[in-house]
Each structure stands twice: as C-alpha cells, then as structure tokens.
Amino acid sequence: MSTVAGRRVLAQLIRRPLGLLSLGVFAAYALIAVGVWLGWWGSAWFELAGPMWAPPSPEHWLGTNRLGQDILMRAVASTATAFEIAVPVALLSTLIGALAGGAAGYFSHGWLDEFLLWLMGTLDAIPFYLLVVALAFALQGHAWTMHLAMIAVFWTTTARLVRAETQRIRELPYIDAARVSGLAPAQIIGRHILPNTMAILLVQGTLVFIAAIKVEVVLSFLGIGTQDSISWGLMIAEGAQEILIGQYWNFIAASLFLFVLVMAFNLLADQLQDVLDPRSLDARAHRHA
C-alpha cells in the first residue's frame, strides 16, 4: 500500500466515530507501553509500595495486592508486556503468511503449493497449548518461546487468505503483461500481487495482534507464559485467589485493561475491513435488512 493510500485509509477511519474511538484507544495503550519502556511510569511495579491489600486511595488509586505492590502500576506495566508479545508476533506472522500465501497461490497446484498446504494443515492439527509446552521444554524457558509458538500457528490463516486472493489476481491481464515483460515470479509476487493483498494483511495483522495478547494472558494465567515480568494473566491468576477473601481490585484492574484493548482492536478490525473492502459493509447491511 502506497503512502497516499495509507493516508486515505487513515482519513476514512478518522471520519468514522468507531474508527476514531478505536484508534484513540490504541494510541493511548501504545503511549502507556512506550512510557513503561522509557521508565516514565510503571517501572517500579515490583516494589512493596504500601501495606497488604490497601484500599484505593490517592497514594494507590486501585489499592495494593497481598504483597503491598501498587495494582495500577502493575496493570500499566502489563501493557508493555502485552505489546512486547503482540507486536513482533503480529508483524512476523503476517509477513510469513503473506510470503507463503503469495508463493502458494502463484504456483497453485504445484509441488510448492502442495507442500505449504500440507505444512499449514499439520500445524493447525497440533493443539496450540501442547505446542507451547513442547517448545518451552525444548527451549528451556527461553524468553521467545511464546513468540515462536504463536508465529508458528498464526501465519497459516493469513497464508490461506492470501493464497486465495493470489489465485484470483494472477489471472488478471496486468499479471500476464508482467510475465511477458520478463519479470521473474518472485518479482511479480513482490511488486504486483502482495501489494494488492494489503487489505487482507492489515485486517489479519490487527486480528493476530489481539489474539497474541489473549493467548499470552491465558498462558500466563496457567503459569506457562510470562515468567520474569508482569502481565494481565498473572494478575488475573492472582486476583482469582484474592476474590475468595473479598479482594477484587487486582482482578478488576487486569480484566478491565484487557477488555478495553480487545474491544478497541475488534472494532478497529471491523472498521478497517469496511474501509478497505466496501463489499463487506454492503453484505452486513443486506443481512440486517
């Protein structure tokens, strides 16, 4: 997608109330994550800042947990953890899916297409959480275990969508002209096919981003996710025990931070799909008519 086209998409999103709202929420969360990385706030989430289970107050807006750690600071720091997982997973899985789908679609029904379809089917058949546990054991708790497991699984959906679109695009006259002009298949895929699948890639990227965050929360809740930092999953696991004794703020803070971000990105994905593919909006209107 060209810079001009990107600005046009952004302008259309801003003109939509839900698009503007979702972009605003994403910008706020991104600012929080950047602030944590730069040490502006949230970096002292592990410090014992007050008494055990202190109620909300001007010193601790959401109170403290059983160790006396500030709950709001932990929720803020968890935002950076979420972005550290989701951004590389979304970018790499979308890139791999685009390249694999473009190659499979261009060489449809050839040996490369058959191999990639077999690989996608095999990866999809492996239970995801079993794959994560296996990778965690093989990598001895390496920090990139979750990233690798998610990337290994998430690229397949993008690849299938790009493959189908590539099969359609490769039959268009301008692709025939590119072949006649002597361009190699890799050049045709890179210059003429993949740029025309950008709508798919943008929507898939947003969906993978939020899926990566939800998976990280689940894995951390189960104790096989984030180990050396703080995350919403760890806070929810901790809060689930505290609820039994009437302490709700840990659970509420993590759940609320997660809910708002997931809702905003779901809205953003819907708005992107409507802007980039008006047919989806027409189909949705027809269904509700």
Position of tokens 């600071």? Answer: 73
CB count in 10 Å sphere of residue 139: 13
CATH of the domain at 223: 1.10.3720.10
Cα separation, 213 vs 82, whole angstroms: 6
pLDDT computed for residue 220 by the predictor = 86
What does pLDDT average to over the chain? 85
pLDDT tens track for 135-157: 766 766 566 778 888 898 899 99
| Mean pLDDT across 255-281 | 82
pLDDT computed for residue 135 by the predictor = 75
Cα separation, 152 vs 155, whole angstroms: 7
81, 168, 258 from 255: Cα distances, Å: 15, 42, 5
- Take residue 152 and report the two structure tokens written for it: 């290994």
Question: How many domains are there within the chain?
Answer: 1
Buried-exposed string 229-265: b where 16+ CB fall within 10 A, e elsewhere: bbbbbbbbbbbeebeeeebebbbbbbbebbeebeebb
Task: Give residue 132's domain range.
Answer: 3-288
